[in-house]
Amino acid sequence: MSDLTLAFAGDVHFTGRTLALLDKPATAFGGISSTLADADLTIVNLETAVTGRGTPEPKRFHFRAPDTAYAALRSAGIDAASVANNHTLDYGQVGLLDTLSSAADAEYPIFGAGRNADEAYAPWITTVRGVRVAVLGMSQVAELSGSWKPTDTRPGVAMAFDGAKASAAVKAARARADLVIVFMHWGVEGSSCPSGQMKTFARRMARDGADIVLGTHAHTLLTDGWIGSTYVHYGLGNFLWYGNSHSTDSGVLKLTVRGSSVVRNEFLPATVSSSGQPVLVSGTAKKKIEDKLRVASRCTGLAAAPS
């Protein structure tokens, strides 16, 4: 098998200042698109319902975007997006079903939600340079999880809280793919340290056959390491973001994978600019983010190298 270069980045949505970026979908992500497109496979978290319909759910923040969001993702070199998060059902089941339908119409791969539980927990499977890759999305955000979880007859988001379903999904993906990636939505907002719940679930995913486990949600950067041979990154922060947040620190995670093993990991620091677009940084700004990540690495409980 050939070595693969994978790129991952954090939370993306098109609302507030970033909605206007969809006036020109081909340039919505700005100059960082070349970094994203440079990888063999690039994935982010799409933190929004793609719909113009539906009723707002009983929660504080509501995000939605027009279907030109998919054109913007594709133009930036982003190959697929997780929708297993706490905003995909912001406009109810109507909004989720619109999101699924518009992605299908755009022939754009999304994963982590579905019209029923089987669809929601199903991996997106693709072959890249001869390597069969399975990518699953799951949420570990408690808000409204009881009414947002999918059933045999109800659409929803794949939830990490159903441990049996989560394990079964990863084991099934392991049987079908050379490389298994779990893209999580997890963490404590504003905290650069993983919670005990995150650590426990990461160990479960590693045990069940995931090669890479990573995620978003905390709106600040966390960092990475290994559980045995499984590579884990606890949090990629915001990426294309509409307004104020816990941190403007961002970046692109680049992984080189040989077979099912991560043999090189590199984080390219960026900042969320005044346009909402992420911009790679250098010099003092880069060192400041790297220093924060060194401090954050002390609380991961992860090994510095695979074993």
244-275: per-residue pLDDT in tens? 899 999 999 999 999 999 999 999 999 999 99
What is the pTM assigned to this prediction?
0.98
- CB of 184 closer than 8 Å to CB of 138: yes
For residue 162, what pLDDT is reported?
97
For residue 62, what pLDDT is reported?
98
Work out the pLDDT band at 2, boundaries 50, 70, 90: confident
